[in-house]
A and B are shown apart, each in its own frame.
Chain A
Amino acid sequence: MLAASVLADSAVEHYRGSFKNKAMLTPLIVAGLTLAMSLHGTADRRPMAHQARDASYLSAAVTGLLGTGFHIYNVTKKVGGLSWQNVFYGAPLGAPMAILLSGLLGFCSERVRANGGRRRHRVFNLPAGETVATVTALGLLGTSGEAGLLHFRGAFHNPLMALPVTLPPIGAGLLAGAVVNGGARPRGLARWWMRLLVGMGFAGVGFHAYGVSRNMGGWRNWSQNILNGPPLPAPPSFAGLALAGLAALELMREARNA
């Protein structure tokens, strides 16, 4: 889910950037690969980690790190440097991190799969549920920060624009709470909240579609408004993260019950 969102979003944004730099194709290929691999993983019933999938997930993580570097370089080389103008309209600093996240989450899921029937899943010798929960919580915070920046750029002209900067951090807090408490009572609330975030992610597409329609020329002027209006593919990344959060909570429950 996250990979799909990243794929679509970076496709649109890098198309806007006319693929001026050949490296701008990389996230498309990698996110596409990640998406394909996770589909493959879902279809693949064998309970073991797959080397090609692992390689793909790790390359996604590396791409995310490198992309962040590229984007920082892009922003700072523009006149004005690290200014609001360039942070608003230059290459988004936080966006490549989403690829990193999708890679990490994919990698975690492979570890879980490799652990097979064992009750206590581990990733790098850490408890799987807690690890995924932590990665997801950080992802929610980062994605929320990105949404906050762009919604600030839009002057929060619609009150609903406050949702993606308030609900996900609370979700991240609940996940963190679940990790710290070892999945005691707040977990029910956390699970409920993750479902809320999944809903928000999909509803966000609807709101952004409405936003596109409110730009001059509406959908008839799609060749401009898809690019200049609110990004349609962005909100589902919240849904992707929230699903990972749900999985983490489930792993933690299984681990506790074991």
Chain B
Amino acid sequence: MLDRNAERGAGDAYPGYDVLAKWRGPSWNEKTREVVAARLQVGDTPQFLTAEEFEILAAVADRVVPQPCSRSPVPVAGLLDRKLRAGVLDGYRAKGLPRDGEAWRRGLRALDAEARARHDRGFAAITDADQDDLLRRCEAGELDAPEWAGMPSRTFFKHRLLRDIALAYYSHPTAWSEVGWGGPASPRGYVRLDFNDRDPWEAAEAKPGREADALRTNRNVR
């Protein structure tokens, strides 16, 4: 009984918590609403990448940050595509890595070529397990199809693929709610700072067997 509850709790650590419920409250200022509103408009269509590249990216993102079917997905590929179009850089680039947009184009095409060489199908069309296998080889630096054109697959994986996808996913309010973060906080910050302290405007964590309490509390977070 307890175990089953714990399992369900692990799937949803902060049941009913939605950081967007604070949108009109004192935790969100005008500037924050402006930038997050723009992010919430981003859809699943490319503006920088080609349709083919975008499809591969979406498949890669699904493996790096798998999402539950129980809610509408964060458009990871779309968010990353917008960042590439805006030309926002990290401020440093490892030797052998071209600038971000070019690195992504080349990396996605190379992953696709590796999939075709092994499975006769593009990356987006192979099984989840085969995708994971290819990504693991990329992480280990074992991929060297001519499409990589001198870009080390390992460097691409760590500095571009993992980093950019993780940053894109966790830039979205849905992901903020998922991890139980307080979210935007200005002008209102926090008062209660010690261990196990929670302000009434923070997410309540589901304790095993008491998920309903957390759910009730989280519905009142403003």
Q: Are A and B in direct contact (Cβ within 8 Å)?
A: yes
A→B interface (CB under 8 Å): 16-18, 216-218, 220-221, 223-224, 227-228
Binds A, one of B9-17, B113-121, B188-196: B188-196
Contact of A227 among B186, B187, B191, B198 (CB under 8 A): B191
Contact of A217 among B188, B192, B197, B200 (CB under 8 A): B188
The 30 sampled A-B contact pairs (Cβ below 8 Å) are A16-B191, A16-B192, A17-B192, A18-B192, A18-B197, A18-B198, A216-B186, A216-B187, A216-B188, A216-B189, A217-B26, A217-B186, A217-B187, A217-B188, A218-B187, A220-B26, A220-B187, A221-B26, A221-B187, A221-B188, A223-B26, A223-B188, A223-B200, A223-B201, A224-B26, A224-B187, A224-B188, A224-B190, A227-B191, A228-B191
* Contact assessment for B189 and A224 in the assembled complex, using a CB-CB cutoff below 8 Å: yes
A78 (CB) vs chain B CBs: closest residue: B194
Q: Which residues from chain A contact B201 at a C-beta distance below 8 Å?
A: 223
Q: Which residues from chain B contact A16 at a C-beta distance below 8 Å?
A: 191-192
A216–B186 Cα distance when bound, in Å, is 8
Apart from A216-B187, A223-B188, what are 17 other A-B pairs with CB-CB below 8 Å? A16-B191, A16-B192, A17-B192, A18-B192, A18-B197, A216-B186, A216-B189, A217-B186, A217-B187, A217-B188, A221-B187, A221-B188, A223-B200, A223-B201, A224-B26, A224-B188, A224-B189
Interface residues of B in 14-41 (CB under 8 A from A): 26
A16 (CB) vs chain B CBs: closest residue: B191
Residues of B within 8 A of A (CB-CB), count? 12
Q: Which residues from chain A contact B191 at a C-beta distance below 8 Å?
A: 16, 224, 227-228
In this complex, which of A17, A18, A224, A227 has the most chain B Cβ atoms within 10 angstroms of its Cβ? Answer: A224
Q: Which residues from chain B contact A223 at a C-beta distance below 8 Å?
A: 26, 188, 200-201
A81–B141 Cα distance when bound, in Å, is 52
Task: Please list the 9 inter-chain residue pairs (A to B) with the smallest Cβ-Cβ separation, ordered nearest first.
Answer: A217-B187, A216-B187, A221-B26, A227-B191, A221-B187, A224-B188, A221-B188, A228-B191, A224-B191
What is the CB-to-nearest-CB distance from A17 to chain B, in angstroms, rounded to a whole number? 8
Q: Which residues from chain A contact B26 at a C-beta distance below 8 Å?
A: 217, 220-221, 223-224
Interface residues of B in 177-222 (CB under 8 A from A): 186-192, 197-198, 200-201
B29 (CB) vs chain A CBs: closest residue: A217
A50–B99 Cα distance when bound, in Å, is 85
A221–B189 Cα distance when bound, in Å, is 9
A223–B26 Cα distance when bound, in Å, is 9
Q: Which residues from chain A contact B197 at a C-beta distance below 8 Å?
A: 18
A199–B59 Cα distance when bound, in Å, is 71
A184–B59 Cα distance when bound, in Å, is 92
A228–B192 Cα distance when bound, in Å, is 10
A216–B27 Cα distance when bound, in Å, is 11
B200 (CB) vs chain A CBs: closest residue: A223
B201 (CB) vs chain A CBs: closest residue: A223
What is the CB-to-nearest-CB distance from A236 to chain B, in angstroms, rounded to a whole number? 23
Q: Which residues from chain B contact A220 at a C-beta distance below 8 Å?
A: 26, 187
